[in-house]
Amino acid sequence: MDFSKHPCFSAEARHTTGRIHLPVAPKCNIQCNFCNRKFDCVNESRPGVASTILSPDQALGYLKEVDDRVENLAVVGIAGPGDPFANAEETIATMKKVGEAFPEKILCLATNGLGLLEYVDEIASLNVSHVTVTLNAVYPEIGAKIYSWIRFGSRVLRGVEGAKLLLERQTAAITALKARGVTVKINTVIIPGINDGHAEEVARYAAALGADVQNCIPLMHVEETAFADRPVPDAGEMQALRFAAGKHLRQMSHCARCRADAVGKLGEANTEEIQALLKKAARIGPTDEWPFIAVASREGLFVNCHVGEALQLWIFKNENGKPVLIERRPTPVPGGGDERWEALAKTIPDCFALLASGCGNAPLTILAKRGIAVTAAECLVRDAAEPLFRGEPIPKVLERAAGSCGSGALCSGTGTGCA
């Protein structure tokens, strides 16, 4: 295996080569007790955070622009902000497009491993050479304390039952990846009092499966998580447990705990230019085919409805830079899961943007796939529609975070989610 150019797998390469994470995977299939994907801030640097979501086509366009500006971008990865295989269609489509356009880049995925197994053949055939699997426990009793639930197909499993299934799926996926020659890194989040005495066992287990390297990551404090008040391990504790785990599996100790839209060398914050490129990539201006904007509104004057609660969408055309109402279209009735959002996309096939005061991850992803960018805002329709018709972002002060609603419950208009 060649670790030499991947900045995460080689401590030397981190000084010379960079990576780009493409944020195409908003949904997640597990709730880890240390993770909160609701926080979305350009100044926050941790996994699970991205300032926008891109469709596979947008991600490729963005990558082309970034690659022209950032030197030695050796690795293209997908690391969320949810899980790549809770968004498998987008993940595979993105890897395929990137591999065709940039055959020289190292392709990399970081996943919790729950949904990975079914895609191992495809991953290998797309030349994805590096996969990171987060393996926090190899005893289900310990895993049960780390995961509040896992969703597998239509089932939601909790406690030991969920942790056991997760471990089985991770074990099978790692074994399958190694059988196909893929380099596998194990991420282990070290949570004092839960699994800090367990890292060596994880290393031993993963080494037996053929994993190549382990990255023990100290717990980070993240607001509004079950582990928000836990102590974090200090440097001495991390060194000791890496030493013990290192007897079984090579250790990585320079992880920068990157955002899901990180670009450049490890530890460097995204520049303003990169943030602007990311925003630009996520934005689609009006075209001949998609000239209109749809607005989730109660009365057609303000953007004041969540996507999940909108009974109708108000459709505006551009007349000399001003939004002019042309019609109202009813939205599909609640229920039906993703089919509701597919049906919603079909009601606005001529719109390039949807303005709403909130939007869950499921509609955000499905609409993005259909080329409809959801912009979350609370303001007069006019104030958001005018810049969008000009192909510009809406003023920051009007923005809300799309995709931050969460998921699951019927949307009540209070940011609790779309269904």
The phi, psi pair for 165, rounded to 5°, reads -65, -40
Q: Smallest distance from the beta carbon of 356 to ligand SF4, in angstroms? A: 31
C-alpha–C-alpha distance, residues 47 and 416, integer Å: 22
C-alpha–C-alpha distance, residues 77 and 256, integer Å: 15
Q: Smallest distance from the beta carbon of 246 to ligand SF4, in angstroms? A: 17
- Burial readout 366-401 (b: 16 or more C-beta within 10 A, e: otherwise): bbbbbbbbbbbbebbbebbbbbbbeeebbeeebebb
Q: Smallest distance from the beta carbon of 218 to ligand SF4, in angstroms? A: 12
Q: Smallest distance from the beta carbon of 326 to ligand SF4, in angstroms? A: 46
Task: Tell me the pairing of strands 183-190 and 312-319.
Answer: unpaired
Picking from 184, 185, 177, 151, the residue whose alpha carbon sits closest to that of residue 165 is 151
Residue number with CB closer to ligand SF4 (255 or 278): 255
| CA max distance for the chain | 69
Q: Smallest distance from the beta carbon of 304 to ligand SF4, in angstroms? A: 38
Residue number with CB closer to ligand SF4 (142 or 258): 258
C-alpha–C-alpha distance, residues 330 and 347, integer Å: 8
Q: Smallest distance from the beta carbon of 273 to ligand SF4, in angstroms? A: 20
User: Contact, 125 vs 91, CB < 8 A?
Assistant: no
DSSP secondary structure code for residue 333 in this structure: P
Q: Smallest distance from the beta carbon of 170 to ligand SF4, in angstroms? A: 17
C-alpha–C-alpha distance, residues 13 and 213, integer Å: 15
C-alpha–C-alpha distance, residues 141 and 130, integer Å: 29
Q: Smallest distance from the beta carbon of 257 to ligand SF4, in angstroms? A: 5
Residue number with CB closer to ligand SF4 (49 or 293): 49
C-alpha–C-alpha distance, residues 155 and 157, integer Å: 6
Alpha helices in 180-326 (DSSP H): 199-209, 235-245, 272-282
Helix or strand or coil: residue 373? strand
User: Contact, 36 vs 24, CB < 8 A?
Assistant: no
Other beta carbons within 10 angstroms of residue 169's beta carbon come to 21
Residue number with CB closer to ligand SF4 (164 or 257): 257
Residue number with CB closer to ligand SF4 (235 or 333): 235
Residue number with CB closer to ligand SF4 (112 or 416): 112
Residue number with CB closer to ligand SF4 (166 or 258): 258
Q: Smallest distance from the beta carbon of 359 to ligand SF4, in angstroms? A: 27
Task: Tell me the pairing of strands 379-380 and 302-303.
Answer: antiparallel
User: Contact, 59 vs 2, CB < 8 A?
Assistant: no
- For 74, residues 6+ apart whose C-beta sits below 8 A from its C-beta are 5, 6, 7, 13, 17, 18, 19, 105, 106
Q: Give residues in contact with ligand SF4 (CB under 6 A).
A: 8, 19, 47, 110, 215, 255-258, 266
Residue number with CB closer to ligand SF4 (21 or 340): 21
Output the CA angle 362-365-371, nearest 5 degrees. 140
Residue number with CB closer to ligand SF4 (131 or 374): 131
Q: Smallest distance from the beta carbon of 394 to ligand SF4, in angstroms? A: 31
Residue number with CB closer to ligand SF4 (60 or 110): 110
Q: Smallest distance from the beta carbon of 62 to ligand SF4, in angstroms? A: 17
Residue number with CB closer to ligand SF4 (46 or 298): 46
Q: What are the CA-CA distances from residue 240 to residues 28, 192, 234, 236, 329 (Å)?
A: 32, 13, 10, 6, 62
Helix or strand or coil: residue 343? helix
